C-alpha cells in the first residue's frame, strides 16, 4: 500500500516535550486547547529486538475529529522520543502523526504485515500478553529520513467504539 493511502485515516499530531505540564500550558495559551486529559502510561513494548517497559507522561486533547498529543518520555526505551531531538530548544517538538487502523484485530495484524512487506522500519511495537487479543495496539514507523517524523499506527478493539483514543471516530 502506498503511504498516502495509509494517511487517509490520519487523526493525531503528537509532540514530545521535556515537561508535559509546561507543554500543556503552552498549548492552552498558544493554541487555545484547554481540554487535555493527562495520564501516566506504562506498558511493554518491543523495540530493537527485545521487550522493555516504557513509561511516559501523556496529555491528549480532542479537537473536532483530530487529536493533539503531548508525550514526556520518563523511562525505558525513550530513545524513540528523544533521538535527534533537542528537548531544551523549544517547549514541544513534532514527533509523529497518528494513523487510525479501523476494524478487527485481524485488520491490525494485516496492517503490521503490510508495513513489514513494504520495508517500513517498525521501531516500536506494542507487545500484548501472549494468547490475548489486546484492546489497543500500536506501531511506530521511522519516516524521519523521508518525511521528518515518525508515523504511529494505532488500532483499538471495536468494542471500545473509538474510545478512549478517538471518540469522534467510530469503529465499524
Whether this prediction's pTM lies above 0.75 is answered by: yes
The three grid cell numbers given for residue 47, joined into one nine-digit string = 523495540
Specify the pLDDT at position 164. 42
Residue 10 is predicted with a pLDDT of 85
Look at residues 96, 84, 102 and name the one whose alpha carbon lies nearest to residue 141. 96
Q: List domains and CATH numbers for the chain.
A: 3-160 (3.10.180.10)
Could you report the per-residue pLDDT of 114-154, keeping only the tens digit for each? 999 999 999 999 877 777 788 889 999 999 998 899 999 99
Could you give the CA distance from residue 91 to residue 69 in angstroms, rounded to a whole number? 13
Q: Rounded to whole angstroms, what are the CA distances from 123 to 30, 112, 163?
A: 32, 12, 25
Which pLDDT score, from 0 to 100, does residue 160 have? 76
Q: State the sign of the Cα–Cα–Cα–Cα dihedral 32, 37, 40, 44.
A: negative
Question: Which parts of the chain sit beneath pLDDT 50?
Answer: 163-172
Amino acid at each position: 500500500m502506498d503511504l498516502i493511502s495509509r494517511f487517509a485515516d490520519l487523526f493525531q499530531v503528537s509532540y514530545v516535550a521535556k515537561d508535559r505540564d509546561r507543554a500543556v500550558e503552552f498549548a492552552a495559551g498558544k493554541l487555545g486547547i484547554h481540554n487535555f486529559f493527562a495520564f501516566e502510561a506504562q506498558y511493554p513494548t518491543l523495540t530493537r529486538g527485545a521487550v522493555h517497559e516504557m513509561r511516559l507522561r501523556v496529555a491528549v486533547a480532542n479537537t473536532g475529529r483530530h487529536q493533539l498529543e503531548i508525550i514526556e518520555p520518563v523511562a525505558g526505551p525513550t530513545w524513540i522520543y528523544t533521538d535527534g531531538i533537542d528537548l531544551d530548544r523549544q517547549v514541544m517538538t513534532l514527533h509523529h502523526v497518528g494513523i487510525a487502523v479501523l476494524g478487527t484485530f485481524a485488520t491490525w495484524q494485516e496492517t503490521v504485515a503490510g508495513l513489514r512487506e513494504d520495508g517500513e522500519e517498525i521501531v516500536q511495537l506494542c507487545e500484548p500478553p501472549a494468547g490475548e487479543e489486546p484492546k489497543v495496539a500500536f506501531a511506530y514507523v521511522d519516516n524521519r529520513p523521508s518525511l521528518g517524523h515518525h508515523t504511529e499506527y494505532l488500532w483499538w478493539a471495536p468494542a471500545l467504539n473509538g474510545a478512549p483514543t478517538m471518540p469522534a471516530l467510530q469503529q465499524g
